[in-house]
């Protein structure tokens, strides 16, 4: 226990110290939200990766999908690395950096409003982001409960409150730069932690080869077949849990699409490209981010794929449902105290980095796109004529103060939801990823490449992405939420393309001025 406490205290002290160190660079809006658009490739790549992979992935998804698909769940981690990181940086990185800087966009809703010359889109996007980021943030707290109770014997509520307080301190003090530096430190802990845990856990089963042979012998049990599992294991054969594509390749593909392509449309992920230094940094960041994702995401799902060797059943007879969140913690219970302390720091790092990115995105969006919205011309310059430098500085500081207040509000609100979750929150968090990416991905990505995207097509995609996922939830999820999210994202491209072809085009001169940034 002493080792666990000492390591945790050191980690938390370093986290707060980084916030204090970065406070001088957080006095202006660009400094607080984007780190002055001068964040290097290593910090940006680690910030992208640590915001991508939270405790929800390590505890929840790794256990759930590892149980359902066996060792083939590793494909989810590979998809996250190749599609969610490598291709995302290649396709979005450079164009996002150049266009958002050209039109002076600081947030994703700001991009929609300026790129499509429609302030209504800016407001609608900020509301969508607020509604679906808050339950996502609450889910980050809930993802750490089992491991903290296992490692310290401290109730989850106290751990969540401490994590919320410390995250608020360093984000409020140092803004994005503090978040990026802490993400780098936390990312190193995640890399070291996941590789060490995999080696030690598999050694308890006699090593990788022996664990693989044990997985080949496992068959689904009665509990698997009782909880909507009959379709998943309908054509199951011995050895499927150790096969290349598992018992249900199509279902697995849906998970890969949602968790990999979905990041392309999430405001807190895309925002990382706004702040990177230059194009050469993007090239280096692409490589770093991809390697990070291969190790962390690939390692999490690879470890979760062996869950059936440690847990006799994930079915809770009293609750009448599977409790997948218990699987990974159970796998780790027999580890030495030092490794349990490392796992706790791993999960704490993943949670705090994701939480910091979410609350910074939420507060900046609400401040800049709703409360203190600047009127812009069609190519991004702020309207209103010249103003005194002292007045401009005062306005900038006022915006930063409002963002800091809102960070406290968002963290407190998400903490209250996590401590007293209403029944619908679990469902809402499940669809938040699909709703956000379904609404934002297609109009954002196509808006970077295609001059022909129209305002009405963006509105139509907002309605499509949010409408499909919410209606599906209200009807009791007749479509699996994961599959529904994948449909919302991919269908968004069809919606934007079709509506753009049949609705009135934007002013050609304005669009050409926007795309001059690529020349």
Q: How many CB atoms neighbour CB 127 within 10 A?
A: 17
pLDDT class of 506 with cuts at 50, 70, 90? very high
- C-beta of residue 366 within 8 angstroms of C-beta of residue 94: no
User: Coil, strand or helix: which one is 354?
Assistant: helix
pLDDT tens-digit map of 224-246: 666 555 666 767 777 888 888 88
319 vs 3: which has the higher pLDDT: 3
The CA-atom distances, in angstroms, between 146 and each of 52, 56, 152, 310, 347 are: 21, 11, 10, 16, 11
Distance CA 191, CA 297 (A): 10
Residues of the chain with pLDDT > 90: what percent? 27
Q: What is the pLDDT of residue 516?
A: 93
Write out the DSSP string of 432-461: HHHHHHHHHHHHHHHHHH-TT--HHHHHHH
Average pLDDT value for the chain: 83
- pLDDT score of 387 more than 60: no
The 10s digit of each residue's pLDDT in 179-204 is 888 888 888 888 888 888 898 888 88
| Least confidently predicted of 17-26, 46-55, 288-297, 313-322 | 313-322
Q: Is the pLDDT of residue 502 over 80?
A: yes
392 pLDDT above the threshold of 70: no
39 CB-near residues (< 8 Å, 6+ apart): 47, 176, 177, 180, 275, 276, 277
In 10 A of CB 11, how many CB atoms?
19
Residue range 435-442: mean pLDDT, rounded: 92
Q: What is the mean pLDDT of residues 354-367?
A: 83
- Identify the pLDDT of residue 344: 76
pLDDT over 70 at 214, yes or no: yes
Confidence (pLDDT) at 316: 62
Q: Give the H or E element holding residue 322.
A: strand 321-322
d(CA 64, CA 304): 8
Q: Structure tokens of 458?
A: 């963006």
* Residues 192, 361: Cα–Cα separation, whole Å: 28
The share of the chain scoring above pLDDT 70, in percent, equals 86
Identify the DSSP state of 75.
H
3-state secondary structure of 382: strand
Given this model, what pLDDT does residue 499 score? 97
Q: How many CB atoms lie within 10 A of CB 295?
A: 20
Q: Are 382 and 375 in contact (CB under 8 A)?
A: yes
> Could you tell me the two tokens for 485?
């999210």
Write phi, then psi, for 318 (nearest 5 degrees).
-65, -40
Residue 419 scores a pLDDT above 80: no
How wide is the angle at C-alpha 435 spanned by C-alphas 484 and 448, nearest 5°?
Answer: 110
List the single range of 6-15, 91-100, 309-318 with lowest mean pLDDT.
309-318
Q: How confident is the model at residue 38 (pLDDT cuts 50, 70, 90)?
A: confident
Residue 294's pLDDT is: 95
Task: Output the pLDDT for position 142.
Answer: 66
Average pLDDT score over residue span 492-506:
95
Judge whether residue 463 has pLDDT over 80.
yes
Write down the residue that tokens 């916030």 correspond to. Answer: 19
CA distances from 91 to 255, 273, 445 (A): 21, 11, 8
Q: Residues 322-347: pLDDT tens digits?
A: 677 778 877 877 777 777 777 777 77
Question: What Cα–Cα distance (Å) separates residue 113 from each residue in 30, 77, 200, 298, 446?
Answer: 18, 34, 51, 37, 15
pLDDT category, 20, cuts 50, 70, 90?
confident
Outline where 265-367 has alpha helix (H): 267-275, 279-304, 327-332, 337-366
Q: What is the pTM of this model?
A: 0.86
**Phi and psi dihedrals of 400, rounded to 5?**
-65, -40
* pLDDT of the residue at 335: 76
Q: What is the mean pLDDT of residues 7-14?
A: 81
């Amino acid at each position: 226990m002493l080792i666990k406490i000492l390591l945790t205290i050191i980690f938390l002290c370093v986290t707060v110290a980084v916030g204090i160190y970065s406070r001088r660079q957080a006095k202006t809006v660009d400094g607080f939200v984007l780190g002055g658009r001068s964040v290097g490739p290593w910090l940006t790549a680690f910030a992208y990766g640590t915001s991508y992979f939270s405790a929800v992935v390590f505890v929840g998804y790794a256990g759930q999908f590892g149980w359902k698909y066996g060792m083939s769940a590793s494909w989810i981690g590979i998809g996250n690395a190749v599609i969610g990181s490598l291709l995302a940086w290649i396709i979005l990185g450079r164009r996002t950096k150049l266009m958002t800087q050209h039109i002076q966009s600081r947030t994703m809703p700001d991009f929609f409003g300026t790129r499509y010359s429609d302030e209504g889109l800016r407001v609608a996007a900020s509301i969508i982001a607020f509604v679906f980021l808050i339950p996502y943030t609450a889910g980050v707290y809930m993802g750490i409960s089992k491991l903290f109770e296992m490692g310290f014997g401290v109730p989850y509520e106290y751990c969540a409150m401490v994590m919320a307080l410390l995250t608020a301190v360093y984000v409020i003090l140092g803004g994005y730069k503090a978040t990026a530096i802490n993400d780098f430190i936390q990312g190193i802990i995640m890399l070291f932690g996941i590789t060490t845990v995999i080696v030690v856990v598999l050694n308890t089963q006699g090593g990788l080869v022996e664990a693989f042979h044990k997985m080949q012998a496992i068959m689904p049990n009665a509990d698997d077949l009782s909880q909507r599992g009959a379709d998943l294991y309908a054509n199951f054969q011995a050895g499927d849990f150790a096969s290349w594509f598992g018992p249900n390749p199509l279902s697995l593909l849906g998970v890969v699409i949602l968790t990999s392509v979905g990041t392309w449309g999430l405001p807190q992920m895309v925002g990382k490209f706004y702040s990177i230094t230059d194009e050469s940094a993007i090239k280096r960041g692409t490589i770093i981010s991809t390697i990070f994702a291969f190790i962390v995401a690939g390692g999490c799902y690879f470890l979760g794929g062996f869950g059936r060797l440690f847990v006799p059943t994930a079915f809770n007879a009293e609750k009448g449902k599977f409790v997948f969140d218990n699987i990974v913690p159970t796998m780790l219970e027999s580890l030495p105290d030092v490794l349990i302390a490392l796992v706790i720091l791993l999960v704490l790092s993943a949670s705090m980095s994701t939480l910091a990115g979410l609350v910074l995105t939420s507060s900046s969006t609400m401040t800049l796109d709703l409360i203190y919205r600047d009127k812009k011309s069609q190519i991004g310059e702020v309207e209103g004529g010249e103003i005194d430098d002292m007045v401009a500085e005062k306005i900038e500081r006022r915006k930063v103060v409002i963002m800091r207040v809102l960070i406290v509000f968002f963290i407190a609100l998400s903490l209250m939801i996590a401590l007293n979750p209403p029944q619908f929150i679990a469902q809402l968090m499940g669809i938040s990823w699909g709703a956000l990416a379904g609404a934002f991905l297609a109009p954002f990505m196509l808006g970077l490449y295609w001059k022909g995207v129209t305002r009405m097509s963006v509105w139509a995609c907002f309605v499509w992405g949010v409408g499909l996922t919410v209606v599906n939830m209200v009807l009791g999820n007749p479509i699996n939420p994961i599959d529904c999210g994948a449909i919302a994202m991919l269908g968004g491209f069809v919606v934007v393309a079709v509506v753009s072809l049949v609705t009135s085009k934007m002013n050609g001169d304005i669009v050409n001025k926007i795309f001059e940034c690529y020349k």
